[in-house]
Chain A
Amino acid sequence: MPQDTSDLSVADLRTSASRRAWSAGARWAFALAALATVLVSALIIWTVASGAWTFISQVAWGNLTEIGWFPRRGLFDLSTLLVNSAQISIIAMLVAVPSGFGAAIYLSEYAHPKVRKVMKPTLELLASVPSVVLGVFAISFITPSILTNFFDDINFFNKLAAGIAVGLLVIPLIASIAEDALRAVPVALREASSGLGARKVTTSIRVVLPAAMSGLMAAIIVGFSRAIGETMVVTIASGGGDTSLFNLALTESGGTITSAMAALGLGTDQVAGNNLAFQSLYFLGALLFAITLVLNMLGDVIVRRLQNKY
């Protein structure tokens, strides 16, 4: 039965006061939640930046280039940590990029849909292995069972094993992003190539890979910033101690930016209150933050420059 609208008034169409209050309240609650994340980020940056400033303004500059990283002795050689971080990240990328891209090409170009359906989640499962497990894997398997066969005098803790383990950690990340990029290449381009008498491998390498270049660069950059920020694997497998002597040998142990921060953050009383050791934690944090920020911006620029509109 139709409603009776003969004596409709504004009051009938008005929202009740409680409902209006509820709507406004919900809006504020959501805004607050959004604001909180911004505030927390700002707070982190502030804490890190002010700690880093304390360190920079008080440290003796000469001590930033002395023999190694010995925070309790006031020796903060940055090159030690930077070189170790770079070495381990590069080893990780040497492991992760070829196998990640290879897996991506297989999944996107060759694998039967049924195979792909099983294989892709399996690959992504590797990403859910906790990094602490991979760290243990490095010292319990990679070094003793593999690397000792090639290097007689390899240290139990070493950068090579740490780099390989970080690489394993990054493979699924790179493979997943790369696979998405490859699959985004239109079928029309593959057909054009096949129609000219190209074999599948030629089409994959000469047409699909270049067409997906921006996505592949993104995969490399995301992978690299993940590798350089990885902490637990490195701390366990290479840089467990809170001190580190400058060396370039991959078979030796060495602390990275992240493992040095982990060691400092454990906050033994030797560290707390002892000269600038604790403040160096903030400085390293700011440094890491700056490195990953620059990497991401660089990645953005490269991706945009290479972007194809197919």
Chain B
Amino acid sequence: MNPEKALMTDESEAPEILAPSEPHTQTRIDVSAVAAMAGQRADTETVFECGDINVYYGDFLALRDVTLDIAAHEVTAFIGPSGCGKTTFLRCFNRMNDLIEGARVDGTIHYHGVNLYQDEVDPVEVRRRVGMVFQKPNPFPKSIYDNIAYGPRLAGVKRSALDDVVEGSLTRAALWDEVKDRLKMSAYGLSGGQQQRLCIARAIAVQPDVVLMDEPCSALDPIATGRIEELIAELKTEYTIIIVTHNMQQAARISDMTAFFSVQANEMGHRTGELVEYAPTSLIFTNPDDPRTEAYITGRVG
């Protein structure tokens, strides 16, 4: 549907949709139980357990009381309207919010049982395990080879082993055949879609456990988007993937679990995001629990 139209619908219907009918109580959603309900695999290991995550930018509350679990080797999608805090939440998983001046995260995220938000945890160590792909392709102004080799070099991979790491990462990112003859050329010579696959290859070159993707296709055309989606489907056998997307069809196509976030404005006009519903993707798109989710996915709002 036409985005402008969607925006207009949002304005006209937003008050009704956003008005809190009753205080929304958030209970922990047990991934395996819900997945079992949906007739999907039930034997999933939990990678992240988030408890009462609140994120502040200065005094302003950007995201309220999010509690959910992320399962291993699944694609978990975060969807919701702009400003609902889904990107903010994504950046909690590798402590990327630490880099933003004035950002503060309250609550706990247990990563394989270890709380990431305790004093002893070094965010750099977290990011070596939880990689990230950004909204706009952001290759370094270096050669294709050096882009991929950057992370492994930091991790101390020997020079002799680098060639294999670079080839392996590019192959897994389905880019090897296109770039194998120009590894020493600037990454800026690649098309937007190739650059994004390069960034994915760069992220997996450090052999992370989890890959976070922040709207990785929003700057790409449909063909490039299709290739990235195929790639995500393949990568999930090795990695746990959390993806933020504006594109509901994309979430429906590629994800196993979907979390829908919404945004609520207080009397001061501050907009705070919150988790509305978290369920297996097949459920959320066919039989959502919350009327706000239904309104969003059917295109009546957002």
A279 to B150: give the CA distance in the assembly, Å.
Answer: 59
Looking at the assembled complex, report how far the CB atom of B149 sits from the nearest CB atom of chain A, in whole angstroms: 11
CB under 8 Å from chain B, chain A span 45-89: none
Contact of A199 with B by CB under 8 A: yes
Contact of A2 with B by CB under 8 A: no
Contact of A122 with B by CB under 8 A: no
Contacting residue for B155 out of A113, A186, A197, A207, CB 8 A: A197
Measured between beta carbons, the chain B residues less than 8 angstroms from A196 are: 127-128, 131, 150-151, 154, 202-203, 206
Contact check, B136 vs A210: say whether CB atoms are below 8 A apart.
no
Q: Which residue of A lies closest to B94 (CB)?
A: A195
Measured between beta carbons, the chain B residues less than 8 angstroms from A186 are: 138
Measured between beta carbons, the chain A residues less than 8 angstroms from B301 are: none
Looking at the assembled complex, report how far the CB atom of B187 sits from the nearest CB atom of chain A, in whole angstroms: 11
Known: A197-B125, A206-B150, A210-B142. A192 touches B134 (CB 8 A): yes
Contact check, A194 vs B96: say whether CB atoms are below 8 A apart.
yes
A256 to B94: give the CA distance in the assembly, Å.
Answer: 57
Measured between beta carbons, the chain A residues less than 8 angstroms from B101 are: 112-113
Main secondary structure of the interface of A (DSSP, over half): helix
A234 to B116: give the CA distance in the assembly, Å.
Answer: 58
Total number of B residues with any Cβ neighbor in A under 8 Å? 26
Contact of B140 with A by CB under 8 A: yes
Measured between beta carbons, the chain A residues less than 8 angstroms from B155 are: 197
A308 to B138: give the CA distance in the assembly, Å.
Answer: 13
Q: Which residue of B lies closest to A309 (CB)?
A: B188
Measured between beta carbons, the chain B residues less than 8 angstroms from A189 are: 138, 140-141
Known: A188-B134, A202-B154. A195 touches B140 (CB 8 A): no
Contact of B114 with A by CB under 8 A: no
A199 to B127: give the CA distance in the assembly, Å.
Answer: 10
CB under 8 Å from chain A, chain B span 122-171: 124-125, 127-128, 131-132, 134, 136, 138-142, 150-151, 154-155
CB under 8 Å from chain A, chain B span 149-204: 150-151, 154-155, 188, 199, 202-203
Known: A199-B124, A202-B154, A206-B150. A194 touches B99 (CB 8 A): yes
Contact check, A198 vs B124: say whether CB atoms are below 8 A apart.
yes
Known: A113-B101, A197-B151, A206-B150. A192 touches B138 (CB 8 A): yes
Measured between beta carbons, the chain B residues less than 8 angstroms from A310 are: 141
Known: A195-B96, A197-B206. A211 touches B154 (CB 8 A): no
Measured between beta carbons, the chain B residues less than 8 angstroms from A308 are: 141, 188
Looking at the assembled complex, report how far the CB atom of A110 sits from the nearest CB atom of chain B, in whole angstroms: 12
Contact check, A193 vs B134: say whether CB atoms are below 8 A apart.
no
Q: Which residue of A lies closest to B132 (CB)?
A: A195
Contact check, B141 vs A195: say whether CB atoms are below 8 A apart.
no
A194 to B131: give the CA distance in the assembly, Å.
Answer: 9
16 further contact pairs, Cβ within 8 A, besides A211-B140, A308-B141: A112-B101, A113-B101, A186-B138, A188-B136, A191-B99, A191-B138, A192-B139, A192-B199, A192-B202, A195-B132, A196-B202, A196-B203, A198-B124, A198-B151, A206-B150, A211-B141
Report 14 cross-chain contacts, Cβ distance below 8 Å, ordered by A residue. A189-B140, A191-B138, A192-B139, A192-B199, A192-B202, A193-B150, A195-B127, A196-B127, A196-B128, A196-B154, A196-B203, A211-B141, A308-B141, A309-B188
Closest A-B pairs by Cβ, 4 of them: A197-B128, A195-B132, A196-B151, A188-B138
